[in-house]
Structure 1
Amino acid sequence: MAHPVTATIRAYQMGFGDCFLLSFAYDDASTRHILIDFGSAGIPDKCNFSLDDVAADIKKQCGGALDIVVATHRHKDHINGFATSADGKGPGDVIRSLTPKRVIQPWTEAPDAPEGWTGPDETKSAKAFADHQSSLASMQALAQAVVDRLDRKDGFDPPWPLADRLRFLGEDNVKNLSAVKNLQDMAGDPKNNIYVYHGCQLDLSDILPNVKVHVLGPPTLKQSASIKTFAKSSADYWFKAQRLAKLAASEGVSKSKTSRLFPGLQKADTFRKTRLPTEMRWVADRVDIAEQDQMLGIVTALDSAMNNTSVILLFEVGKKKLLFPGDAQLENWSYALQSDMAALLNDVDLYKVGHHGSLNATPKSVWQRFRKRGKAGTPQRLTTVMSTMAGKHGGRNGAPTEVPRIPLVNELKADSTLFNTQDLQPTELCHTVIVDLR
């Protein structure tokens, strides 16, 4: 049986998005190709290429045939490249034409799950899966409502300085229906669609001989309900100690402010400043501010909840391990870190940096497990690959939440060989990283 000799990772310049073509070259001269995510919240203005150009390059690099497509979760910046078009020439049409043999997605995407399902390991709960699916649909409906609110002609008056961030988060969580439908049937027979969860058996040996694929996340609701929540602060985040203490002290206050959804929305719609006497227009200002803050809090929560449905895959070939965690945040990671599978992380050789380098998607407890971290010149030094674009997400009002998070980036540079898509030239489609598997 053939054995892989090299793994080539092409990290495409997607701006704030992910697109990785993982290619295993075998000693019998064959190559197997895996596309992990394909989406963008906006290719950098400096670049003169599009999602169509990326799709064309993927087709070229894999010789017109894909073996596996992985869509780690439903966010726009991970799947909108799978969208099709009426003329049949969209980027998703190109990927579909590559006839992947398998499509892998998180268990939350299963389209025909039985009533009461909390994941493929079954449960006694009669409503858990239906409630979770309903929650995801509601999340996307709320995100659409936020985008529609921003699109209204009256908008916010005066213009809100964080409207761009609100739009970015809202649009990222809107249901990408064309991409979702394309992923559901691009592999032909429904049995070729695999919906995975922590610890499930994912046997791809007929497609990837001598490659073990471990699924570290997401957990099912039976395994861990924490994926429905997110922590605003944690010792695992890339905060400075004093900042973490302040956030922990204020967390209870923050929670109390978000107990209702859009509580000021009707007031903001009714009491527009143009309808009020001059001496009362300060009321409209304050209602607008309240509405904007509430909306931002809601879409931020939605964003984190969706990230925690991300698939976490670890490819093991001989003594080499390649880790791709999508946008998994701490709550998704936590179950894996407490399981027997945690030891798999100790000798990772290549790490795809989670969630574009955010403060909570590379938990310190994960990072510290990577024994191959080390200064330049360290034998078999850890390789890290990050797809990101600064200025799109986080950092509100001076908060230390910018993406990519600077202390994390500094650590990646100091203790690994980092390939960052931000460093690519405008004409470069991707970084090409080669890992010797022998």
Structure 2
Amino acid sequence: MAKLKITKPKPKVDEPVGEPQQAKIRVRMYNVGFGDCFLLQIPGDPRPKRVVIDCGSLKNKHYNIQQISDQLIADVTDDDGVARIDLLVMSHRHADHISGFANKKWAAVEVGEVWMPWIESPTDPEAKKLWKKQKERAKALQFAVEKQATLGLALDPLLADVAAAALSNEDCLAVLHDGFAKKVVPKFYPQGDKVVEKIECVVLPGVDIFVLGPPRSRGALNQADPPTNQILLDGFNIDIDGNREKVRPFGEDWVDESAFWPGFDHQAIDEAASQKRLYEAVAAELDAELNNTSLILIFKIGEDYLLFPGDAQWGPWERVFADEQAVSLLSKVTFLKIGHHASHNATPATLLRDLVGKENRHDGKVRAMISMTPYSRWKGIPHPALLAELIKREDPFVISDAPTPVDGVTQQGDYWLEFEIG
């Protein structure tokens, strides 16, 4: 394999070398494959302020996460050879958001502040209680997959990956808690129960940051799929006589004429299938709870509002949509990081059709970025109906592994895409 060459981005034609500060906001999306890694650069003096949101991947496209994190660190390195980040945000602990922090080079990076969801706090009693329960369920699920199910109904190995996501990534978490060049104590948000919590960030003067999640309600945390009217034409329902119903593989009158299950009676089959569904339900709840622990952040920079929702699914969004201040903020959004790699369950219909950007400074147009690459484990990502809605809205958007020419977007080879906003 050829040696990786780390390159610093070249100045643009209209940007003189040595200019002390940039004039516009820049949002850079690294092509990590299936995962997230964003660098937000905010006009500042003597250099732009830097915000890094996540650095992880489950499946790479062109470069692995070690190479991408090498490039990121090079991109935030100043002329004196020191890499500096003003604010580093971990949206949530899934590997596709934090696996890049296994890179040993992070030990030489100076970080001003580190933000994490409240459930990562080692001193929060509710957080400790929640993680204890999650780990117990994850270990039970892991054991069940290893031993397989009875009556010949093997569990999907993917369930073991879901369990592992709730138990692993400890090395990366250790870096985020205490692994940078200078001692920095992480901050955990939100600190209270309000739907919208405004944070004055000392390292980002002049920038207002609003935290809209994760919620502290257990009920909101484990709500995964939106109701039917919030799904943008999902592939999991069919229309029967005008009624939306879940697809059922077997009807009540189904008979196994092929005797595929010799020696088993129907009651035993039903019980085994129910047990299998139980494990699948546990896995879905585990995965949803982790996704729903995502920090949902809106950065107000001048008159622009930038929304980074992590992988938040329905529970947190339902709460946000019911809050007047939150709805007002969403209406002003000018940039959106599409949640959960453009899955069907993380961008509710209400968000795109009724709220986001409706009263923004760009006549309702919202620049959007989707960080993903097709992954056989999760088919249907990106969700076609979501892309169709963005096209219908005439929003300029880019997908990390399939870039197309879009006004205001620059590209650095196969490493990253960047929007200029302002």
The TM-score by the shorter chain falls in which range?
A: 0.7 to 0.9
Which of 371, 390, 393 aligns to 1:412? It is 390
Q: Distance in 2 between matches of 1:427 and 1:143?
A: 42
Count of matched residue positions in the alignment of Structure 1 and Structure 2: 369
Q: How far did residue 420 of structure 1 move?
A: 0.4
Partner of 1:199: 196
Partner of 1:174: 167
Letter in 2 for 1:341: A
Q: How far did residue 33 of structure 1 move?
A: 1.2
**What's the secondary structure of 1:361's corresponding residue?**
coil
* 1:10-409 alignment runs, 5 A limit: 10-26=28-44, 28-44=45-61, 47=62, 49-63=63-77, 64-83=83-102, 91=103, 93-113=104-124, 115=125, 117=126, 129-142=127-140, 144-145=142-143, 148=146, 163=156, 165-186=158-179, 192-197=185-190, 198-204=195-201, 206-221=202-217, 225-231=219-225, 233-239=227-233, 243=237, 249=245, 280=263, 293-339=277-323, 340-367=325-352, 368-371=354-357, 381-395=365-379, 402-409=380-387
Cα distance per residue 1:251-281 (max 9 Å; x no partner): 9x99xxxxxxxxxxxxxxxxxxxxxxx9649
Q: How far did residue 173 of structure 1 move?
A: 3.5
Cα 1:279–1:245, aligned 2, differ >3 Å: closer, same or farther?
closer
Cα distance per residue 1:123-180 (max 9 Å; x no partner): xxxxxx5532322322443454366458xxxx999997x9464455344443211112
**What's the secondary structure of 1:351's corresponding residue?**
strand
Contact between 2:198 and 2:208, CA under 8 Å: does it hold in 1?
Answer: no
Q: Distance in 2 between matches of 1:242 and 1:133?
A: 30
Letter in 1 for 2:188: Y
More strand by share: 2
**What's the secondary structure of 2:96's corresponding residue?**
helix
Q: Distance in 1 between matches of 2:59 and 2:272?
A: 28
Q: How far did residue 43 of structure 1 move?
A: 0.8
Q: How far did residue 328 of structure 1 move?
A: 0.7
Q: Scaled by the length of structure 2, what TM-score is found?
A: 0.75
Cα distance per residue 1:362-386 (max 9 Å; x no partner): 1112222123599xxx857310001
RMSD: 3.7
Partner of 1:123: none
Cα 1:15–1:170, aligned 2, differ >3 Å: closer, same or farther?
farther
**What's the secondary structure of 1:67's corresponding residue?**
strand
Contact between 1:169 and 1:303, CA under 8 Å: does it hold in 2?
Answer: yes
Q: Scaled by the length of structure 1, what TM-score is found?
A: 0.73
Cα 1:279–1:213, aligned 2, differ >3 Å: closer, same or farther?
closer
Q: How far did residue 413 of structure 1 move?
A: 2.9
**What's the secondary structure of 2:39's corresponding residue?**
strand
Point out where structure 1 has 5 or more consecutive residues left out of the alignment.
Answer: 84-90, 118-128, 255-277, 396-401
Q: Distance in 2 between matches of 1:7 and 1:15?
A: 24
Contact between 1:236 and 1:364, CA under 8 Å: does it hold in 2?
Answer: yes
Partner of 2:255: none
**What's the secondary structure of 1:433's corresponding residue?**
strand
More helix by share: 1
Q: Distance in 2 between matches of 1:331 and 1:289?
A: 28
Point out where structure 2 has 5 or more consecutive residues left out of the alignment.
Answer: 1-19, 78-82, 250-260, 405-411
Q: How far did residue 24 of structure 1 move?
A: 1.4
Cα 1:183–1:214, aligned 2, differ >3 Å: closer, same or farther?
same
Q: Distance in 1 between matches of 2:98 and 2:160?
A: 18
Letter in 1 for 2:335: L
Partner of 1:428: 414
Letter in 1 for 2:93: R
Q: Distance in 1 between matches of 2:413 and 2:48?
A: 27
Cα 1:242–1:65, aligned 2, differ >3 Å: closer, same or farther?
closer
Contact between 2:237 and 2:245, CA under 8 Å: does it hold in 1?
Answer: no
Q: Distance in 2 between matches of 1:392 and 1:156?
A: 27
**What's the secondary structure of 2:288's corresponding residue?**
helix
Q: Distance in 2 between matches of 1:159 and 1:343?
A: 49
Partner of 2:13: none
Q: Distance in 2 between matches of 1:430 and 1:158?
A: 46
Q: How far did residue 412 of structure 1 move?
A: 1.8
Cα distance per residue 1:68-109 (max 9 Å; x no partner): 1111111111112123xxxxxxx2x22342121111011011
Contact between 2:114 and 2:184, CA under 8 Å: does it hold in 1?
Answer: no
